[in-house]
Structure 1
Amino acid sequence: MAINYLRAVPKIPHPSNLKLTGLHSFSFFKTRRVSLPIRAAATSSSMSYEKELAAAKKAASVAARLCQKVQQALLQSDVHSKSDKSPVTVADYGSQALVSFVLERELPTESFSLVAEEDSSDLRIDSGRETLERITKLVNDTLANSDYYSDSNLTNEDVLRAIDNGKSEGGSCGRHWVLDPIDGTKGFLRGDQYAIALALLDEGRVVLGVLACPNLPLTSISNQHSSHDKVGCLFFAKVGAGTYMQPLDGSSPLKVHVSATENPEDASFFESYEAAHSMHDLSSTIAKKLGVKAPPVRIDSQAKYGALSRGDGAIYLRFPHKGYREKIWDHAAGCIVVIEAGGVVTDAAGNPLDFSKGRYLDLETGIIVTNQKLMPSLLKAVKESLEEEKVSSL
């Protein structure tokens, strides 16, 4: 399936100058309300978020350089285990420190609140000192080789403070940056897909998002005949202004749009690579009900949102196992990237995702992502599959 690109637009218009088309059309509002929380932010605020988006792009791009360096020469000593036993690397900490540093540097006059995955507690104990030293060196080496921050030199304490900026609880008041410094840590460790995912909440609504995907090909991953030699994508979106993709090297951006397919038989779908992250059997049942013929594309991280936003596939299904609570940093950036590309993101009941309740998403069963045309039939298939699963478990 070819990537559905539109011609690059050098200047993104202010939301107030945009006509309501596609996702924001009257007919869409009349039939569904899934995008209202994000669209409401555009109409209730005169802010264009241009400087915030520019800062977010810089932050994610700089962090991606550190992550690429670590992944290319991954040492066993770089891998540690957090209290929840999930793997964490010096790249997680270094990425979070860099994003925090860049945002504060680029937006010095604004109050700074960051909701992020990591904290420095494991680095402050004696056994973490060597790791902290390595993180600080990586951070400073990355800054020294950057285009903007070569004059910066952070101490261990500076790095610890930058990491701990991520302790904010978020919520519905004020502005909060939301960060997953490496979304898809297991993919990162395997040498596969991962993303630096950064979003901004304003009064509880996602108003911009950036996904840096260092290993995602610039061409569609659904096209088996395309060369995947060139990798490294940066997706970015702000409310009311569409979604754009550019190479991580900073080349000109291209506007992208989700797949326009309305026939489920032509729709391919994404799901998590790790079976522990999503119920593959349930996704398979839903796909069969829809009549999807293509096998699932399983990749790690919010790179799935980026790939879907440019039309690589038409559906993303995520159904975590019982008891799992979704975190806002796992979906905030990806959500706006897809919605601004003309897609729809809801829970399994068709409700929009609510990022205003703190660090967690409390939602109905799972997350489904697709285009507007496929959403009604997808919701029906999801509802029927969940009911059948419930009955079979009695």
Structure 2
Amino acid sequence: MSYEKELAAAKKAASLAALLCQKVQKALLQSDIHSKSDKSPVTVADYGSQALVSLVLERELPSESFSLVAEEDSGDLRGNSGQETLQRIRTLVNDTLANNEYSSVSNLTTDDVLRAIDNGKSEGGSRGQHWVLDPIDGTKGFLRGDQYAIALALLDEGKVVLGVLACPNLPLTSISGENQQSSQDKLGCLFFATVGTGTYMQPLDGSSLLKVHVSTTENPEEASLFESFEAAHSLHDLSSTIAKKLGFKAPPVRIDSQAKYGALSRGDGAIYLRFPHKGYREKIWDHAAGCIVVTEAGGVVADAAGNPLDFSKGKYLDLETGIIVTNQKLMPLLLKAVKESLEERASSL
């Protein structure tokens, strides 16, 4: 089955959401609000991004069975304490629509915005089609002015068939260790893939298209490793043990969000390791878009036991310990190092 219409709609939706998020992040970085405890800017961007994606998908793909599995719901916005934030979200969404090709629908009421956000209440599952959205993946990166992504995927009968990653702060050139970005690098990448057609990257402005492929390196000593920026999001010590077993020479590249999947899909690095702290359950919106972007670029995404990720069980991924991503050639070596490192860790506890 071709997903051309769905892909076109998803690219529009993610690109518009990226514009909204860029506007909020720019204002945040220029303001005096640098405390991470102030959730207001990221709240406005999160909800605004979700509302925009929902509205654009509904408009571009009219269907009675529209289903969206997304991170946010409007509960906190409906009380008196949420009214000011809700008005800011409404203004942002309307302004973003008016400045693009949706001026005819840029007079949304607060009720319209609340309804659009709450479209994301679907549970997903193995039947029918479900859109999967993380409106801002990488909240802490967003607050710091670093990496974040608008991550949108489509499930069809439980399988990821389409993925779009809008990464407003990711350079169009490689971020690998030997080629750290300069201030001259153009920022803003859109990665997208549909099942069986490969992965492509283009600037967020929609210009020149490039087909991308994961790193083909077979030698771990030449490879670079990606992991989460925040130690709270992944066990950095476990990743370090695995890296030593593989003979990695370069230090890990730590960046926020599914921008890692995008960078990996074009060969910036060769391995991504994610080992959440005990008790954490992975959500499908944190990996669905990134997974197909990497696999269509020739990579492999698996849990720590080598099993493919299963997105058909609802909002959560039930995993064996963690997520590992690499190319076909390095996967056997990586799986061996992961298994040994996990066994050593278990015996030392």
Q: TM-score range by the shorter chain?
A: over 0.9
1:386 alignment partner in structure 2: 342
- Residue from 172, 175, 183 that aligns with 1:218: 172
- Whether 1:91 aligns to 2:45 is yes
1:332 alignment partner in structure 2: 288
Question: Counterparts of 2:172 and 2:207 in 1: how far apart (Å)?
Answer: 12
Contact 1:211 1:302 in 2 (8 A): yes
* Change beyond 3 A, Cα 1:105–1:294: same
- Residue from 117, 132, 135 that aligns with 2:86: 132
Q: Identify unmatched segments of 5+ residues in structure 1.
A: 1-46
What secondary structure sits across from 2:103 in the alignment? coil
1:38 alignment partner in structure 2: none
Superposition pairs of residues 98-247 of structure 1, within 5 angstroms: 98-109=52-63, 111-146=65-100, 148-152=101-105, 153-222=107-176, 223-224=178-179, 227=182, 228-247=184-203
* Change beyond 3 A, Cα 1:255–1:165: same
Contact 1:78 1:90 in 2 (8 A): no
The alpha carbon displacement at 1:224 in A equals: 2.5
* Change beyond 3 A, Cα 1:87–1:335: farther
- Residue from 308, 312, 316 that aligns with 2:272: 316
Q: Identify unmatched segments of 5+ residues in structure 2.
A: none
1:351 alignment partner in structure 2: 307
Superposition pairs of residues 238-387 of structure 1, within 5 angstroms: 238-387=194-343
* Larger deviation, residues 351-360 vs 226-235: 226-235
What secondary structure sits across from 2:179 in the alignment? coil
Opposite residue 131 of structure 1, the aligned amino acid is T
TM-score (norm. length: structure 2): 0.96
* Change beyond 3 A, Cα 1:262–1:80: same
Question: Counterparts of 2:158 and 2:263 in 1: how far apart (Å)?
Answer: 26
* Larger deviation, residues 66-75 vs 126-135: 66-75
Contact 1:63 1:94 in 2 (8 A): yes
Contact 1:80 1:89 in 2 (8 A): no
Question: Counterparts of 1:107 and 1:344 in 2: how far apart (Å)?
Answer: 31
Question: Counterparts of 1:278 and 1:337 in 2: how far apart (Å)?
Answer: 21
Query: Relative contact order (C-alpha < 8 Å, sep 6+): which is higher?
Result: 1
CA deviation map 1:277-326 (0-9, x unaligned): 00000000000001111100000000000000000000000000000000
**RMSD over aligned Cα atoms:** 1.7
Opposite residue 143 of structure 1, the aligned amino acid is L
Stretches (4+) displaced over 3 A: 75-82, 225-228
CA deviation map 1:367-391 (0-9, x unaligned): 0000000000000000000000000
* Change beyond 3 A, Cα 1:270–1:225: closer
* Change beyond 3 A, Cα 1:78–1:91: farther
Contact 1:97 1:159 in 2 (8 A): yes
The alpha carbon displacement at 1:111 in A equals: 1.6
Question: Counterparts of 1:208 and 1:238 in 2: how far apart (Å)?
Answer: 4
Opposite residue 106 of structure 1, the aligned amino acid is E
Question: Counterparts of 2:116 and 2:191 in 1: how far apart (Å)?
Answer: 24
Opposite residue 392 of structure 1, the aligned amino acid is S
The alpha carbon displacement at 1:150 in A equals: 1.6
The alpha carbon displacement at 1:63 in A equals: 0.3
TM-score (norm. length: structure 1): 0.85
What secondary structure sits across from 2:238 in the alignment? helix
Contact 1:235 1:243 in 2 (8 A): yes
* Change beyond 3 A, Cα 1:145–1:275: same
Contact 1:244 1:254 in 2 (8 A): yes
Contact 1:87 1:186 in 2 (8 A): no
1:22 alignment partner in structure 2: none
- Residue from 1, 5, 13 that aligns with 1:59: 13
* Change beyond 3 A, Cα 1:79–1:317: closer
Question: Counterparts of 2:54 and 2:313 in 1: how far apart (Å)?
Answer: 22
CA deviation map 1:6-27 (0-9, x unaligned): xxxxxxxxxxxxxxxxxxxxxx
Contact 1:116 1:179 in 2 (8 A): yes
Q: How many residue pairs were aligned?
A: 343
Q: Percent identity?
A: 85
